[in-house]
Every structure is written in C-alpha cells, then in structure tokens.
C-alpha cells in the first residue's frame, strides 16, 4: 500500500492500558437478578440513544446530565450509574455518526460501573458491583499468576456482562504510565492485505496476515445469503450458519491484530526502537469510489484496528 511515512525523534511519555478479563461466578446471589439488572441498564441506555439520535447536534456531558439524570434516578439507578449510562450512550452515538453508521441497537447484556459502584479485591479475587439497591459479589475464575501482575495498578471502571451461555465476564482496565526513551533505530512496517513487511534497518521480514482468511469466511456467509435469497432470514439454521461465519471472520481479525500488535510492540520495546507506519486514513473510502471489488477486498483489511 502506498502512503506517506513520518518518523519521531523520541517516544513520548504517555498512559497505557492493560485490561484484566476473566470469567466470574456469583458467590451467593442469583444469576437471574443480575441478568435483570443488566437488562434494565441496557434498556435505559438504548432509550438515551434513541433520544439523542434524533438531535442534529450532540449535547455535552453537562447538557446530557440535565436531560437524563433526573429520569434515570427516578427509575432507581444510582447516581454514578446514571452518569455512566448517558456518558456511554454519547460515546456510542458519536462513534456511529463519525463513521456514517446507522442508529446503534444494543444487544449485549453488559454494564459499566465506576469506582463508586464497584469494589475490586485482587487479593481474594472478588469483585463487588452495585446495581440500584442490590450488591453482587463475583469470584474471578483465573489463575493467581495472571491476577498478580495487576496488583498495585490503578483501575477506573468495571465492565460486567453475561453471554449467551450464561457465563459472567468481568473486564477491568488498569492504567499505568510508560517512560519515554530515545529510539536507537526504526522498525518500518508496510501493511498489506496478505503480508506485512517489517524492516529494522538490517533485514527484511515478511509476515503472513490472516485478513484473507477472514475475507474468505465473509464471502462464504454472503454466498449462503445469495443462495437462499430471503429465506435465510426466516430459517434459524441458515441464520445461525451466517452469523457463525461472520462471527468467526470478525474474531480472526481481532485476534490476529492484537497478537501481532503485541508482538511488534514488545519487539520495539526490547530493542529500544520506534515503529513507523504508513498513513492509510480513508483508504477504504477512496477505494470504494474507484472499484467495488477492491472495496470488498479491503473490508477485512483492519489497518485501523491493527
């Protein structure tokens, strides 16, 4: 891919994020009660999204507070939980409108809680969350060595969710600052659909991507839709097959992008290098104007995510 490259003279000081993700189990409380609280939170968030979507200009946090805080409090939500609801809704709508998307429709049972409505005890691997007038204690099911590396770091929110298999998942982002350093050399990356070419000033390495594998699964899902016309919408079997193919395609992109990004970042840190990337902003948008087939190929080219 063609693009301009820019170099930096020093890696700046900044703030990083490390997320603890673990499956959990309720200590004494009922799963149905927790599910009900998450459902009410999702419904309230969707209501805020529906109201804000009709506005020509998105309000500020203070304006959203005046619009929704009293209503949410009357429904029994705690003060900081109400704030999290309209703050999260604003972020979702802003992202959807910037990317030219449709009105968001929430389907996942999840909720975000700040430090006033959650307690994290890494020593005993227990997370306590407060919903309205109820408190739920959740035991983290993960190995001790994984939990140890998060001790001493500051966290700012707890994300709790329930999946289709009735499993409880806990995500806790932790913040920490990384120190700047003066790079000794550069690692330049030429990101393409099939391969990534990495050059560190001494040798070139070509790494296969999994974007084409994800694109193949996407095409298979679309072939099923074309073969069965509109019948796939009413047939649960074909609908589940299509969803499974799209889900696997998406998971491949997310999984590979995270693993390669972690690999190259640790490599740069170990060798005191700076990473140089192309500027491929609006690549898909420009390609879609020229060729629909090229735009289709780039639909799984997750440059921004990588």
pLDDT tens digits for range 14-30: 667 888 999 999 998 88
pLDDT at 230 over 50: yes
**pLDDT higher than 70, residue 3:** no
The answer to whether residue 2 sits within a structural domain is: no
- 4 versus 261: the higher-pLDDT residue is 261
Q: What is the extent of the structural domain holding 194? A: 185-300
Residues 43 and 191 in one domain: no
In this predicted structure, the answer to whether residue 55 has a pLDDT above a threshold of 60 is: yes
- Give the pLDDT of residue 56: 87
- Measured between alpha carbons, how far is 164 from 109 in angstroms, rounded to an integer? 9
Six-digit token string for 209: 């991507």
Q: Are 221 and 242 in contact (CB under 8 A)?
A: yes
Give the separation between CA 300 and CA 252, rounded to whole angstroms: 10
pLDDT one-digit tens code per residue, 70-108:
999 999 999 999 999 999 999 999 989 887 788 999 999
Distance CA 210, CA 221 (A): 17
Whether residue 168 is contained in a domain is answered as yes
Residue 14 has a pLDDT of 64
Based on the fold, state whether residues 171 and 190 are members of the same structural domain.
no
The answer to whether the beta carbons of residues 40 and 154 sit under 8 Å apart is: no
- DSSP code string of 63-87: HHHHHHHHHHHHTT--HHHHHHHHH
Phi, psi values for residue 25, rounded to 5°: -140, 140
Residue 193 covered by a domain: yes
**pTM beyond 0.75, yes or no:** no
Name residues whose C-beta falls within 8 Å of residue 158's C-beta, 6 or more positions apart in sequence. 112, 113, 114, 118, 120, 127, 129, 170, 171, 172
pLDDT at 1 (0 to 100): 47
Residue 38 shares a structural domain with residue 159 = yes
Q: Which class for 280: exposed (0-12), middle (13-18), buried (19 or more C-beta within 10 A)? A: middle
Is the pLDDT assigned to residue 278 strictly greater than 60? Answer: yes
Considering the domain architecture, whether residues 171 and 199 belong to the same structural domain is answered as no
**Pair (125, 84) in one structural domain:** yes
In a domain, 48, yes or no: yes
Question: 């409880």: which residue's tokens?
Answer: 168
- Give yes or no: residues 169 and 32 share one domain: yes
Task: Check residue 8 and give its pLDDT.
Answer: 46
**pLDDT tens-digit readout, 80-89:** 999 999 999 9
What pLDDT is recorded for position 177?
74
Judge if 261 and 218 occupy the same domain. Answer: yes
């Amino acid at each position: 891919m063609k693009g301009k490259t820019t170099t930096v003279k020093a890696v700046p000081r900044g703030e990083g994020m490390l997320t603890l993700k673990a499956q959990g189990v309720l200590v004494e409380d009922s799963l149905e009660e927790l599910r009900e609280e998450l459902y009410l939170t999702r419904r309230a968030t969707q209501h805020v999204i529906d109201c804000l979507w009709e506005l020509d200009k998105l309000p500020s946090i203070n304006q959203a507070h005046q619009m929704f805080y009293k209503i949410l409090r009357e429904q029994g939500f705690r003060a900081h939980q109400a704030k999290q609801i309209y703050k999260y809704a604003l972020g979702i709508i802003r992202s959807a409108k910037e990317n030219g998307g449709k009105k968001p429709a929430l389907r996942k049972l999840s909720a975000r809680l700040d430090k006033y409505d959650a307690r994290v005890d890494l020593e005993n691997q227990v997370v306590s969350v407060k919903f309205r007038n109820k408190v739920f204690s959740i035991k983290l099911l993960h190995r001790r060595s994984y939990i140890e590396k998060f001790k001493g770091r500051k966290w700012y929110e707890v994300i709790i969710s329930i999946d289709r298999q009735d499993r409880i998942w806990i995500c806790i982002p932790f913040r920490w600052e990384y120190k700047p350093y003066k790079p000794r050399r550069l690692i330049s990356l030429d990101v393409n659909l099939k391969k990534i070419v990495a050059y560190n000033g001494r040798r070139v390495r070509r790494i296969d991507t999994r974007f084409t594998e994800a694109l193949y699964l996407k095409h298979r899902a679309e072939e099923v839709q074309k073969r069965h016309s509109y019948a796939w919408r009413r047939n649960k079997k074909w609908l589940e097959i299509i969803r499974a193919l799209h889900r696997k395609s998406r998971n491949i992109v997310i999984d590979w992008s995270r693993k390669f990004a972690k690999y190259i970042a640790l490599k740069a840190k170990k060798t005191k290098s700076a990473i140089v990337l192309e500027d491929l902003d609006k690549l898909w948008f420009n390609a879609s104007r020229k060729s629909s087939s090229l735009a289709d190929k780039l639909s799984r080219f997750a440059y921004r995510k990588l």
